[in-house]
Amino acid sequence: MYTGIYDECLSATSPNEKLRGKYCQMFTQVIEEESKEKREPLSLTHLSPIPRLTPSLRHANKEPQTIIDRFTDASVHYGTCMPDVCSEEELFLSVNLQNMIGTNMIALVSCSNEEPGPHFTDADVGFTALLTFLVVLIVCSSVVDIFLSYTGNNVLRKGALRYLLVFSAYTNLTKILQVNPVPSPGTITCLHGMSHQQGTALFITANLLDVGKGEAGLVAQTITNGYPSVDTFFFFSGLLVTYSILRELGRRGRFNIALYFIHRFIRLIPPIAIVAGMMATVMRFFASGPYAIIWNTQWQRNCMKYWWKDIVFINNFMYEEGDCLAQAWYVAVDTQLYFIAPLVILPLFFYEAKGKAWLLIVTVVSAVIPAAIIYARDYPPTNLMYGPEGSSEYFKNIYLTPWCRAEPWVAGVWLGYIFYKQGDKRLKMSPLLVTVGWTVASLTGLLVVYGMYSYNSILHPVPYEVMTQIVYGGGHRLAWGAVLAWLVLACHNGYGGIVDDFLSHPIWQPISRLTYSIYLVAFPMQFLLAYNLRVASYYSYINKIIETVGALVVAFPVAVLVSLMAESPVMGLERLLLRPGPRPANTRAPANNTAKPCNPPEPGSTELTGGRHNPAFIPENSVAAGQKYHAVEMNSEHETQKRNAEKANVTPL
């Protein structure tokens, strides 16, 4: 890779200024044949006619050959400066790469020169108009909110103006940045820190020649095998949706299925729409340099064409031809699990014994399905062992399918049920149980992350055993969910020690409330920083740490803007429009349920999540992802008072 000096090329002019510089790039890419045996290996000696390219590859021998052969989408490119009167076709013919590199490669040429000004499309104008409208609405509502706050006029605040005030940045920003040093007793405070830690992923955009070296280290295994971070948010999803449904049933005796689905759509779609619209339109104006062509020819065009996949939550099934928000696959999978959640959770309330047996069957099946697919198709235990060629099939049939990602979600369902049964009492554990629990959980977590260390080598792959293939491939996500269940259970009941002190620190609260927005904008911000580079970025731990921290610092204020435009106002409108009137409490409880009836938060409120804007989300994210979750208010005010009055009343475990 040799990009040249982009800015110097564009600023170059002839003495009479009739000729200006045009920056061009030559791309060479491997053609994927029907069979590996039919494809001739690339010989680096074929690249010798390109004098400026060979010095950067001259020191390499077998390793680059191996990587280029395994990564069939690997490309080599270099930049050159041409007079602006020359066309791309003329440059391609002059270099005549087809005769230099053989028949198993293709060559592409792309040029760019300095334009007098940006060219706006109809989509650019429409999206800019939408953002302008939202900004004006937020500013006006903030001014009104500040005026009413200082004058103390609560009469106007309760009238029709309340529909305008939900857009107030003055109030919404205060809620987002609020820190509660002493949280209420019913809050699972460790989820604040867990959502932040798991949502911070190191997305390595390394030079392909360094990938084989970087992934081999034990330290790098924490990053390269960081896929359990996404599973953490699936676990959170199962926990929250289970507890909220059971508590709703305990209070009302019935379940509003229509409101359940409406709540999901109106909470998740607006932020996705804003971010996808930004990527499809105006974001290209912020990318310039030799790598900007990748944004303009791939991400921007994909978003213009495939944005609708993210809105309807099916992008995990239709990703091959292209997508817009690559990270939104998680939101789709989580939403699909959210749709089937009532089928798994409702039996726990109405038919408790049979419901637990049904949940046990679902748990076993969730582990058997991925194990069976991995064994039948002879996939490795994890996709880290694949290059992109084989990874596509693994992603399609394992990584992106809800039936293969349900294991940690089911573990969250179990914990949500346990918390519901626990009610307002604290579990008492013996010192031996606490010691054994933390020891087993720690060892299991380490095995999940580092257990495949000896196999994860691209340059020197090691054959894996069938038992490893089945056990790790089919059970590591369930094991990770069990580790998380113990961590949350122990921390919430006072057995977390220094771990709980760190995860429950109030500093994580504002970041936790922005997890969904950060998850959505983190990738675009990383892409934007990468595509504005003037020179190649080479892999090193320090570089990747700096790049990741920089991307997160940039993503945070952008996430605040997205939240103020599309999260907080929607939450306020939902609370005003969809909150039902008060109903009499239902005293019915399921058979053998020792938990006392409790008062769930009204739909649209944030009591259950301690201020979280998207209680059903595991953006995730993810990744993480995305992703992502905020702390969960497990008890109403009435329950909190009872807890304070019955501190000595504990349930032995």
Q: Which residue has the tokens 């008062």?
A: 599
Phi, psi of 652 (to 5 degrees): -70, 145
CB-CB contact of 279 with 300 (8 Å): yes
Picking from 515, 488, 520, the residue whose alpha carbon sits closest to that of residue 504 is: 488
**Average pLDDT, integer, range 224-236:** 86
The mean predicted confidence, pLDDT, of the chain is: 76
Alpha-helical segments (H) within 493-540: 497-503, 508-513, 515-531
CB-CB contact of 190 with 501 (8 Å): no
What is the reported pLDDT for 638?
Answer: 40
- Position 29 confidence tier, pLDDT thresholds 50, 70, 90: low
Q: Which residues contact 395 (CB under 8 A, 6 or more apart)?
A: 319, 383
pLDDT at 38 over 80: no
**C-alpha angle with apex 238: 233 to 241, nearest 5 degrees?**
115
Please write down the HEC assignment for all residues of 45-87: HHHCCCCCCHHHHCCCCHHHHHHHHHCCCCEEEEEEEEECCCC
Picking from 507, 407, 494, 486, the residue whose alpha carbon sits closest to that of residue 441 is: 486
CB-CB contact of 306 with 261 (8 Å): no
For residue range 428-478, what is the model confidence (pLDDT) as tens digits?
Answer: 999 999 999 999 999 999 999 888 877 766 666 677 788 988 999 999 999
Say how far apart CA 457 and CA 645 lie, in whole Å: 57
User: Which range scores top for mean pLDDT: 82-96, 151-165, 404-418?
Assistant: 404-418
pLDDT at 387 over 70: no
Residue 85: CB atoms within 10 Å: 10
Copy the structure tokens of residue 252: 């009302």
**Structure letter (DSSP) for residue 459:** S
What is the reported pLDDT for 643?
Answer: 41
What is the reported pLDDT for 459?
Answer: 61
Phi, psi of 23 (to 5 degrees): -85, 125
Say how far apart CA 2 and CA 207 lie, in whole Å: 12
What is the reported pLDDT for 14?
Answer: 84
What is the reported pLDDT for 185?
Answer: 64
Phi, psi of 650 (to 5 degrees): -125, 160
Picking from 410, 593, 423, the residue whose alpha carbon sits closest to that of residue 493 is: 423
For residue range 493-524, what is the model confidence (pLDDT) as tens digits?
Answer: 989 999 999 998 888 889 888 989 988 998 88
Q: Which residue has the tokens 């892409």?
A: 527
- Position 417 confidence tier, pLDDT thresholds 50, 70, 90: very high
Bridge partners of residue 614, in order along the sequence: none
Bridge partners of residue 110, in order along the sequence: 25
What is the reported pLDDT for 389?
Answer: 52
Say how far apart CA 414 and CA 420 lie, in whole Å: 10
Q: Could you tell me whether strands 621-622 and 105-112 are parallel, antiparallel, or unpaired per DSSP bridges?
A: unpaired
More confident residue, 579 or 307: 307
CB-CB contact of 264 with 615 (8 Å): no
Say how far apart CA 413 and CA 419 lie, in whole Å: 10
Q: Which residue has the tokens 């309760």?
A: 158
Copy the structure tokens of residue 204: 């390595």
**Average pLDDT, integer, range 343-362:** 96
CB-CB contact of 633 with 608 (8 Å): yes
Q: Which residue has the tokens 């009055």?
A: 645
pLDDT at 589 over 60: no
What is the reported pLDDT for 63?
Answer: 40
pTM given for the model: 0.78
Say how far apart CA 177 and CA 539 lie, in whole Å: 35
For residue range 553-569, what is the model confidence (pLDDT) as tens digits?
Answer: 888 999 999 999 999 99
Q: Considering only 115-129, 201-215, 490-504, which range has the smallest mean pLDDT?
A: 201-215
For residue range 401-415, what is the model confidence (pLDDT) as tens digits?
Answer: 999 999 999 999 999
CB-CB contact of 503 with 259 (8 Å): no
